[in-house]
Amino acid sequence: MSALLVGVGVVLIVVGLADVFLTVLHYENPGFLAVRTYRYGWEIARRITAPLPRRLRGLMRSMTAPAMVVLNLTGWLGFQIVGFALVYEPASLTGTSPRRVTARRSGPRSTSARRR
């Protein structure tokens, strides 16, 4: 079960990072998740604002694009947070880590250690 959680976490991390890089660095085609977010966001905004008066409808629709940018950033951050949580969760349940690091004492050594 823990290998499945780690696998799902790695997939979420890779998908989130790939969408960030495709959206930010590839100007002709945005990422695969961002396109859907924008498309569904505009559809929802059009349906919600359709019965409003023309002036208010224009104002509300003009606020849709900034809201979608924030939603996209939140989604990307959410993919990373959930992905890394799934990767580290099995280790947190058992109390083990992939690489155990031990802290060294930084204070003065005892007198018996100095004599050697």
| Segment 15-63, tens digit of pLDDT | 999 999 988 888 777 788 888 888 999 999 999 999 999 999 999 999 9
Which residue's entry shows tokens 């079960």?
Answer: 1
pLDDT at 47: 95
Q: Are 41 and 64 in contact (CB under 8 A)?
A: yes
Mean pLDDT within 70-77: 93
pLDDT for residue 107 is more than 80: no
DSSP string of 1-64, one letter each residue = -HHHHHHHHHHHHHHHHHHHHHHHH-SSS--HHHHHHHHHHHHHHHHHHTTS-HHHHHHHHHTH
Mean pLDDT of the chain: 84
pLDDT at 101: 47
